[in-house]
């Protein structure tokens, strides 16, 4: 059974079923997880808006869930999805929210944008 934090949330990493690429990190509350299980479509909790949202409702990037896993501590979820629309997940228009790389060279650390 997933363990929600004191705010009633659990971290959820979402990856593409076709190639395993991590698409995003979001949070779920109990209702989001219940709806995800019942409908087979990813639902999340927006911490900034304090609202439930179905991924793709506006963007068309609906995420059809193929598998849900929990980690060994049961305090994080891994969703495997077939992404709809253009296959993207990030609100910036990119496929993955993880498009920035932190590069460290000598004494300098910088963000690299692919």
pLDDT tens digits, one per residue of 83-112: 998 888 988 889 999 988 877 666 666 666
DSSP 8-state secondary structure symbol assigned to residue 75: S
Q: Over the chain, what is the mean pLDDT?
A: 91
List the structure tokens of 87: 């296959």
Q: Specify the pLDDT at position 65.
A: 98
The answer to whether 98 and 88 have CB atoms below 8 angstroms apart is: no
Whether the pLDDT of residue 114 is over 60: the answer is: no
Q: Is residue 27 within 8 Å of residue 33, measured between CB atoms?
A: no
User: Across-strand partners of 91?
Assistant: none
Q: Which long-range contacts does 4-12 make (Cβ < 8 Å, 24+ apart)? A: 4/29, 4/30, 5/75, 9/45, 9/47, 10/75, 10/76, 10/77, 11/75, 11/76, 11/77, 12/44, 12/76, 12/77, 12/78, 12/79
| Residues 43-85: tens digit of each pLDDT | 999 999 999 999 989 888 999 999 999 999 999 999 999 999 8
Superfamily of domain 10-113 in the CATH hierarchy: Phosphoribosyl-AMP cyclohydrolase (3.10.20.810)
């Amino acid at each position: 059974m997933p363990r929600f934090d004191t705010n009633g949330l659990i971290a959820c990493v979402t990856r593409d079923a076709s190639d395993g690429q991590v698409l995003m990190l979001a949070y779920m509350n109990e209702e989001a997880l219940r709806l995800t299980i019942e409908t087979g479509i990813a639902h999340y909790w927006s911490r900034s808006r304090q609202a439930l949202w179905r991924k793709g409702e506006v963007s068309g990037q609906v995420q059809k869930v193929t598998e849900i896993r929990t980690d060994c501590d049961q305090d994080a979820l891994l969703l495997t999805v077939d992404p709809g629309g253009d296959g993207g997940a990030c609100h910036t228009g990119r496929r993955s929210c993880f498009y920035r790389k932190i590069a460290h060279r000598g004494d300098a650390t910088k963000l690299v944008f692919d």
